[in-house]
Amino acid sequence: MEIFDKKIASEVATQLLEIKAIRLQPEKPFTWASGWKSPIYCDNRLSLSYPAVRNFIKESLAQVIKTNFTTAEAIAGVATAGIPQGALLADELSLPFVYVRSKPKGHGMENMIEGKVTVGQKVVVVEDLVSTGGSSLKAVADLRAAGFEVLGMVAIFTYGFEIAEKNFKEAGVKLICLSDYSSLLTPALANDYIDDSTLASLVEWRKDPASWKPV
pLDDT band at 71 (very low <50, low <70, confident <90, very high): very high
Euclidean distance between CA atoms 15 and 139, whole angstroms: 28
Q: Which pTM was predicted?
A: 0.94
**What digits encode the pLDDT tens for the residues 162-195?**
999 999 999 999 999 999 999 999 999 999 999 9
pLDDT surpasses 60 at 110: yes
- Tell me whether residue 130 is annotated as binding: yes
- Tell me whether residue 129 is annotated as binding: yes
- Tell me whether residue 14 is annotated as binding: no
pLDDT of residue 105: 64
pLDDT surpasses 70 at 106: no
pLDDT band at 109 (very low <50, low <70, confident <90, very high): low
First to last CA, the chain: 30
- Tell me whether residue 197 is annotated as binding: no
- Tell me whether residue 107 is annotated as binding: yes
- Tell me whether residue 20 is annotated as binding: no
- Displacement of CA 53 from its chain's centroid (Å): 15
pLDDT of residue 101: 94
Helix (H) or strand (E) holding 174: none
- Tell me whether residue 94 is annotated as binding: no
Mean pLDDT for the chain overall: 94
CATH class of 2-193: alpha beta
CA dihedral 203, 204, 209, 210 (to 10 degrees): 180
- Displacement of CA 201 from its chain's centroid (Å): 24
- Tell me whether residue 133 is annotated as binding: yes
- Tell me whether residue 34 is annotated as binding: no
pLDDT of residue 107: 56
Mean predicted confidence (pLDDT) in 139-147:
97
pLDDT of residue 146: 95
- Tell me whether residue 101 is annotated as binding: yes
